[in-house]
């Protein structure tokens, strides 16, 4: 009888610990935060587009093409894992177009001031939204050079 009581007590004790352990893992079944869930196919497509942006920007100096690709990524996949890099290239391409650099002529319907404003917007997003980004320092440097906010002149 003593053995039976001892075994029963150990069994109840073991079950008590098992239930406590199971309750401690209660949140594990909910899955990852939906805001960070990324579609693998969309990530792959965006990564291919980013590689094209790097090629257009660095090697070909084709800033219109780089900016167009960046805008496609931003519109199609705003949660892209490398969106900080995309925003940097969009800002740097806009700035280069404002300064008439590169092998492609800027779009005629967009003025240099508009390109400069686009650059401020894109680079500002890198600086303010991605403080840990490897592109933050580069973006901040460009923003400092062109002025973080649009210069306005007052008429007298």
Give the CATH number for residue 70.
Answer: 1.25.40.10
Q: Distance of CA 156 to CAs 25, 151, 152, 153, Å? A: 68, 16, 13, 10
Inside any domain, residue 23: no
Inside any domain, residue 152: no
Inside any domain, residue 65: yes
Q: How far apart are the first and last CA of the chain?
A: 104
Percent with pLDDT over 90 in the chain: 69
Q: Give the pLDDT confidence of 11-33 residue by residue, as tens digits.
A: 666 666 655 554 455 544 444 45
Q: Is the pTM of this model over 0.95?
A: no
What is the structure's pLDDT at 148? 77
Inside any domain, residue 154: no
Inside any domain, residue 85: yes
Phi, psi of 31 (to 5 degrees): 85, 180
Q: Distance of CA 82 to CAs 85, 106, 121, 148, Å? A: 5, 26, 17, 23
Inside any domain, residue 84: yes
Which residue, 126, 125, 128, 119, is CA-closest to 147? Answer: 119
């Amino acid at each position: 009888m003593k053995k039976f009581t001892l075994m029963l007590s150990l069994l109840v004790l073991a079950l008590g610990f098992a239930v406590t352990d199971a309750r401690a893992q209660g949140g594990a079944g909910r899955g990852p935060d939906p805001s960070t869930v990324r579609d693998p196919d969309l990530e792959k497509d965006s990564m291919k587009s980013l590689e094209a942006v790097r090629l257009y920007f660095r090697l070909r100096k084709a800033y219109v093409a780089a900016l167009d690709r960046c805008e496609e990524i931003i519109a199609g996949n705003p949660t892209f894992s490398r969106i900080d890099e995309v925003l940097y290239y969009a800002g740097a391409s806009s700035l280069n177009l404002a300064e008439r650099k590169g092998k492609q002529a800027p779009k005629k319907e967009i003025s240099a001031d508009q390109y400069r404003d686009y650059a401020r917007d894109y680079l500002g997003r890198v600086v303010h939204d991605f403080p840990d980004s490897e592109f933050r320092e580069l973006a901040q440097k460009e923003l400092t050079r062109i002025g973080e906010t649009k210069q306005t002149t007052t008429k007298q």
